[in-house]
Amino acid sequence: MERVILHSDLNNFYASVEGLDNEEYRVNPMAVSGNPEMRHGIILAKNNIAKALGVKTGDTIWQAEMKCRNIMLCRPHFEKYSHYSKVVREIYYTFTDKIETFGLDECWLDVTGSQKLFGDGETIANLIREKVKRETGLTVSIGVSYTKVFAKLGSDMKKPDAVTIITKENFKEKVWPVPVEEMLNIGKKTKLRLRNLNVFTIGDLANTQEKLLLSHFGIIGSRMKKDAMGIEEGEVLVFDKHTPIKSVGNGITTRRDMKTNDDVRSVIFYLAEIVASRLRQYGFCGTGVSIAMRDTALSTISRQQVLNYPTNSEKVIATEAYECFLKNYNLNHLLPLRSITVQTYNLVSDGFSFQQSLFDTAIDNFKEEKLGKSLDVIRDKFGFESVTKASFISNDLIASSHKSDDTLPFQRNNR
């Protein structure tokens, strides 16, 4: 039996959720945006009215206001988006248990085995679309196909509140004229490299010699060609199958640029405290640390290094991350940094046995971890901010009281 895959995409998700509680957001151009005071001043989502006026996701706030002077802006409420995302997934679950999430607003569904109960793929897609609208007030666009890549392309072709069918018989007509960058897993850099090979559409990619793609992209080139030709064997993950945690990290865009090593060091230690706490919460230790640094030109450099022993100590994580920064980035000769992410990877269970070196500091590490666990007990009872370093409170790089973007009071109405 041929597979039937759906890709369901909630239309203008953040903006649509905000519109459920505020009629003004439904009848006027509006967008959900980051907080400009925190230098997160970009458009995260917009409604159809703002979209028609040229506002795009990823626009800066000033760009959106240039295109639409009367645009209404509101801060994001991620707890609401998470709630509605779960509600909609429960609706999907009434049709199939083979559901793979792709962010809060997108999911793949394998409904191959559901057709005897509910009808063919198009019928199921329309049943889902109508049920989501009826029970939540939100709309979805759904692509129906036999591969995950084509199903996702289908959900993008008609918006909002629509169903698009891509079959083995019509995919060349529907898919091949589409720009190649619209296909899943092809980003800006890959798009530019493909253009150098005169590959502009998905059809061009499908008809490019595999040897040429292999020579430029390796095995990924072969996979891209198969995706363009509708050859795919990737399975949709089961709804209640938990993906194992492979890494734990945290990043921040600072309130001002980081121009000195001391600036970077303070931010790294701040992030390491959060990462270490999460590791202990999940019952893991990291055996490697990575750091990603984005400069003021929005170029990103990532580096990583293996640890001598597994750890969930903030001091060890911070020290290793800072050394990695010093080895790979010189602020005297390079641009100031705008954001930093600290991450631990190759996780093992807390208490994992390992061979200790005679020359390392694993005993000190053990003491640091015990201290961290003691702080966790206090924070679990009184909140994460109940115990913190004084330097974090007064640090002008970091938001006061560790408040994240979604807790800051920000709303703008330009009317």
Give the DSSP per-residue string, 269-332.
Answer: HHHHHHHHHHHHHHTEEEEEEEEEEEETT--EEEEEEEEEEEE--HHHHHHHHHHHHHHH--TT
Which of 36-50, 244-258, 334-348, 395-409 reaches the highest mean pLDDT? Answer: 334-348
Residue 333 burial (CB < 10 Å; 0-12/13-18/19+)? Answer: exposed
**Which pLDDT band holds residue 348 (cuts at 50, 70, 90)?**
confident
Q: Which residue do the tokens 């046995």 mark?
A: 353
How big is the CA angle at 244 (ends 240 and 249), to the nearest 5 degrees?
125
CA dist 63 and 54 (Å) reads 10
Residues in the chain, how many?
415
Q: Does residue 372 lie in a domain region?
A: yes
Whether residues 203 and 329 share a domain: the answer is no
pLDDT tens per residue across span 1-33: 789 999 999 999 999 999 999 999 999 999 999
User: What is the tally of structural domains in the chain?
Assistant: 3
Q: What is the CATH number of the domain that holds 276?
A: 3.30.1490.100
Q: Does residue 391 lie in a domain region?
A: yes
**Tokens representing residue 75 in the block:** 């801060």
Amino acid in the structure at residue 372: G
CA dist 373 and 309 (Å) reads 18
* Region at 75 (left for phi over 0; alpha for psi -120 to 50; beta for the rest): beta
Closest CA to 128 of 39, 19, 4, 237: 4
Whether residues 171 and 23 share a domain: the answer is no
Mean pLDDT confidence for 376-396: 60
DSSP state of 230: T
What confidence score (pLDDT) does residue 382 get?
57
CA dist 184 and 224 (Å) reads 9
Q: Does residue 236 lie in a domain region?
A: no
Of 18, 100, 106, 369, the catalytic one is 106
**Tokens representing residue 123 in the block:** 């019928």
**Which pLDDT band holds residue 236 (cuts at 50, 70, 90)?**
confident
Tell me the pairing of strands 72-74 and 30-33: parallel
**Tokens representing residue 365 in the block:** 């590490």
Kindly tell me if the per-residue pLDDT of 38 is higher than 60: no
CB contact at 8 A, 214 and 222: yes
Whether residues 69 and 151 share a domain: the answer is no
Kindly tell me if the per-residue pLDDT of 248 is higher than 60: yes
Whether residues 402 and 253 share a domain: the answer is yes
DSSP state of 245: P
CA dist 72 and 86 (Å) reads 27
Last residue of a domain, one of 56, 80, 104: 80
Whether residues 184 and 47 share a domain: the answer is no
Q: What is the CATH number of the domain that holds 123?
A: 3.30.70.270
Q: Does residue 242 lie in a domain region?
A: no
**Tokens representing residue 411 in the block:** 């709303």
pLDDT tens per residue across span 208-217: 999 999 999 9
Whether residues 254 and 401 share a domain: the answer is yes
Question: Out of 10-24, 96-110, 239-253, 294-308, which region has the weakest mean confidence (pLDDT)?
Answer: 239-253
Q: Does residue 414 lie in a domain region?
A: no
Whether residues 99 and 206 share a domain: the answer is yes
Q: Which residue do the tokens 């002077």 mark?
A: 69
Whether residues 255 and 372 share a domain: the answer is yes
Q: Does residue 255 lie in a domain region?
A: yes
Mean pLDDT confidence for 313-321: 92
- Greater confidence (262 vs 377) lies with 262
Q: What is the CATH number of the domain that holds 49?
A: 3.40.1170.60
Q: How many CB atoms lie within 10 A of CB 227?
A: 23
Domain around 74: 13-80
What confidence score (pLDDT) does residue 358 get?
46
Whether residues 169 and 205 share a domain: the answer is yes
Last residue of a domain, one of 171, 199, 228: 228
CA dist 352 and 370 (Å) reads 15
Kindly tell me if the per-residue pLDDT of 265 is higher than 80: yes
CB contact at 8 A, 40 and 253: yes
Mean pLDDT confidence for 179-194: 93
Q: How many CB atoms lie within 10 A of CB 242?
A: 7
Q: Is 255 helix (H, G, I), strand (E, B) or coil?
A: strand
Last residue of a domain, one of 35, 59, 80: 80
Whether residues 284 and 195 share a domain: the answer is no
135 catalytic per annotation: no
Tell me the pairing of strands 140-145 and 163-165: parallel
Q: Which residue do the tokens 């408040």 mark?
A: 403
Whether residues 125 and 74 share a domain: the answer is no
Q: Does residue 384 lie in a domain region?
A: yes
Whether residues 75 and 92 share a domain: the answer is no
Q: Does residue 234 lie in a domain region?
A: no
Mean pLDDT confidence for 271-300: 90
What confidence score (pLDDT) does residue 255 get?
85
Q: What is the DSSP string of 90-109?
A: HHHHTT-S-EEE-SSSEEEE
